[in-house]
Amino acid sequence: MVSFQIPGLLLMVLLVAYGAYFGWHRGIRSFLTVAMVSALAYLVLVSGGEQILDYMNRLYSRLPKIVVLVMGGDPASVSNFPLIEIPWDIPAVVRGVLFVVAVSVAWFFNKRPAWYADKPMDTLHRQFGLYSGVTTALTWISAATVFWNQSGVVPDQTPEAPQGLMQGLNSFFVNMPDVTQVVPVLILVLLVIIVASIALKMPNLLKPPPPPKK
């Protein structure tokens, strides 16, 4: 039996290229809700959430010193709050289900927000759409790979094992490059773009599109 396998890097490039094409063709407004929810779900459930919670935890512990400093006192005269113990051992299967549910809900409500538009209204919407398409594609690929590898659902690798669906999926995910260090950075840039759009109102990504001409 002849089998054909696409290298993991090439497969990832093809999927990301499709995400870039989709984003450029449709514009960022057409899937902004899905992109934002996917990004936040990735940070919370896949990678990056530990660092964010750790930063917030440390900021909380230093609140007494910050308050005293703002009031003109001596920060050394007070002690920090004790750090909050945050459990981060949720099973991969549960996190995977939560991720899929979050993205599915975002997809269902994608057309509801006022900023939705089914096509780009200017070139900047296309450019941001291309970037968000690449980021969302990498987010989904990385999330699926991490959940699969951490779930322990790996079929028997002996030569006598049947070449079934599970082994096919395992081969698919095992060959995927690890981009868990890159995706949080891309997500951060995407969130900065969205926040800057709100603050500077350029290019008004969250402003309702104009009504269609009659």
pLDDT band of residue 134 (cuts 50, 70, 90) is very high
Confidence of residue 4 (pLDDT cuts 50, 70, 90): very low
| 81, part of any domain | no
What's the CA gap between 32 and 36, in Å, rounded?
6
132 lies in a domain?
Answer: yes
- Calpha distance 14→61 (Å, rounded): 45
Q: The whole model's pTM is what?
A: 0.74
Cα-trace Rg, the chain: 22
* pLDDT given at position 5: 53
- 């094409």: which residue's tokens? 21
Q: Could you tell me if residue 60 is inside a domain?
A: no
Q: What is the dihedral of CA 129, 133, 139, 141, to 10 degrees?
A: 180
User: Is 158 or 49 the better-scoring residue by pLDDT?
Assistant: 49
103 or 154: which leads in pLDDT: 103
126 pLDDT exceeds 50?
yes
Higher-pLDDT residue of 189 and 210 is 189
The structural domain count of the chain equals: 1
31-49 mean pLDDT: 87
Is residue 205 situated within a structural domain?
A: no
Q: What is the mean pLDDT of the chain?
A: 79
Cα distance between the two ends of the chain: 60
> pLDDT category, 160, cuts 50, 70, 90?
very low
pLDDT for 72 equals 76
* Bond from prior residue into 203 cis (ω within 30 degrees of 0): yes
Residue 104 phi/psi, 5-degree rounding, is -65, -40
Predicted confidence band at 117 (pLDDT cuts at 50, 70, 90)? confident
CA nearest 188: which of 147, 143, 131? 131
Q: Is position 130 within any domain?
A: yes
pLDDT at 165 over 50: yes
List the domain range (segments joined by +) for residue 139.
8-54+91-152+165-200
Going by the DSSP 8-state scheme, the letter that residue 77 receives in this structure is: G
Q: Which residues of 64-75 are buried (b: 16+ CB within 10 A; e: fewer)?
A: ebeeeeeeeeee
With respect to residue 84, please indicate whether it lies within any of the assigned structural domains. Answer: no
Measure the CA angle with vertex 86, ends 183 and 90; round to 5°: 65
> If pLDDT is split at 50, 70 and 90, which confidence band does 213 have?
low
Q: Identify whether 59 is part of a domain.
A: no
Q: How confident is the model at residue 173 (pLDDT cuts 50, 70, 90)?
A: confident
For residue 209, tell me if it sits in a domain.
no
210, two tokens: 């104009």
